[in-house]
A and B are shown apart, each in its own frame.
Chain A
Amino acid sequence: MKPHIVYLLTLSTLFAQVPYERIARAPAEPESWLTYSGDYQARRYSTLNQIDRSNVNRLKIVWMYQIKAHHKFETSPLVFDDVMYITEPPSDVTAIDLRTGRPIWSFRRSVPAVPVCCGQVNRGIAALDDQLFIGTLDSHLIALDLKTGRVRWDVVVADYKTAHSITLAPLAIKDKVIIGIAGAEYGIRGFLDAYDAKTGKRAWRFWTVPEPGEPGSETWSGDSWKHGGAPTWITGSYDQETNLLYWGTGNPGPVYRGDVRKGDNLYSDCLIALDADTGKLKWHFQFTPHDVNDIDANEIPVLIDAEFRGKPRKLVLFGNRNGFYYILDRVTGEFLLARQFANQTWAKGIDERGRPIPNPATAPSPEGATVYPDDDGTANWFSPSYNPQTGLFYQNTREKGATYYLTEAPYMPGRQFLGASRRALSGGEPWGALRALDSLTGELKWEFRLPTPPWSGILSTAGGLVFSGDMEGNFFALDAADGKLLWRLQTGGPIWAAPITYRSEGKQYVAIAAGSAIVVFGLN
Chain B
Amino acid sequence: MCSLLQIAAWTLCAGVAWPQGPVGIQQPSSTPEDLAAGEHFYRTECAYCHGPHGEGGRGATLARPRLPHAPDDATLSAVIENGIPETEMPGHWFAPHEIRQLVAYVRTLGRVEPQKIDGDPERGERLFAGKGGCSRCHTVTGRGGALGPDLTDIGARRSVPYLKESLLDPEAAVPEGFLQVQLVTRDGQRITGVRLNEDTFSIQIRDLSDNFQSYFRSELAEVIKQFGKSPMPSYKEAFTPTELNDLIAYLDALRGIQ
Q: B-contacting residues of A (Cβ < 8 Å)?
A: 68-71, 90, 110-120, 161, 402, 405, 407-410, 412-416, 418, 420-424, 427-429, 449-452, 470, 472-474, 476, 488, 490
Contacts and interface: CB of A to CB of B under 8 A. Distances in A.
21 contacts: A71-B86, A113-B13, A113-B14, A113-B90, A113-B91, A115-B90, A118-B88, A119-B87, A119-B88, A120-B85, A405-B47, A410-B44, A413-B93, A415-B93, A421-B43, A422-B47, A428-B227, A429-B179, A451-B200, A470-B200, A474-B201
Contacts of B179: 429
Given A111-B4, A474-B200, A414 B93 contact: yes
A470 B199 contact: yes
A111 B179 CA distance: 41
Interface string B37-55: 0001001110111011001
Most interface-central of B2, B14, B19, B201 (chain A CB within 10 A): B201
A450 B200 contact: yes
Contacts of A418: 44, 48
Interface residues of B, number: 42
Given A112-B13, A415-B93, A416-B48, A473 B1 contact: no
A407 B47 contact: yes
A416 B227 contact: no
A423 B51 contact: yes
Interface string B9-25: 00001101111000000
Nearest to A451: B198
Contact of A69 (B44, B57, B86): B86
A416 B44 contact: yes
B58 A422 contact: yes
B86 A421 contact: no
Contacts of B198: 451, 472
B92 interface: yes
A186 to B, nearest CB: 9
Contacts of A423: 51-52, 55, 57
Nearest to A476: B200
Contacts of A118: 88
A474 B199 contact: yes
A141 to B, nearest CB: 19
Contact of A161 (B19, B85, B197): B19
B114 to A, nearest CB: 28
A199 B253 CA distance: 69
Contact of B52 (A421, A427, A488): A421
Contacts of A405: 47, 52
Interface string B74-89: 0000000011011110
B5 interface: yes
Contacts of A449: 200
B1 A409 contact: no
Smallest CB-CB A-B distances: 3 pairs: A112-B17, A421-B47, A472-B199
Nearest to B225: A429
A283 to B, nearest CB: 34
B133 interface: no
Contact of B48 (A420, A428, A473): A420
Contacts of A410: 44
A402 B58 CA distance: 11
Nearest to B42: A421
Nearest to B18: A113
A414 to B, nearest CB: 4
B233 interface: no
Given A70-B86, A428-B227, A110 B5 contact: no
A412 B43 CA distance: 15
B86 A422 contact: no
